[in-house]
Amino acid sequence: MLILVFLGIFNLTYGWRQKNRPAVRNVFIFIGILILILAIAAATPQGTDIIEDVLGQ
């Protein structure tokens, strides 16, 4: 979970620093937000149940 948080924050900060490439900036910010949402879901028992159901395990 902590690895996902660090990866999400890294993507957000890297995307924010891409001032001259707006398309790349938006993609990295979007991916960073998705990774942070996944990390938050993995931190809760209900979220892990949902992730297990989605992955089929």
Residue 36: its pLDDT value, please? Answer: 92
With H, G, I as helix, E, B as strand and everything else as coil, classify residue 17.
coil
Residue 33: its pLDDT value, please? Answer: 94
Q: What are the pLDDT digits (tens) for 5-55?
A: 899 999 999 999 988 888 899 999 999 999 999 898 888 888 888 888 888
Helix (H) or strand (E) holding 23: helix 22-43
Residue 51: its pLDDT value, please? Answer: 84
Tokens in use for 7?
Answer: 């990866």
Residue 3's φ and ψ, nearest 5 degrees, are -65, -40
1 Cβ neighbours under 8 A, 6+ residues apart: 39, 42, 43
Q: Is the pLDDT of residue 57 over 80?
A: no
The model's pTM:
0.76
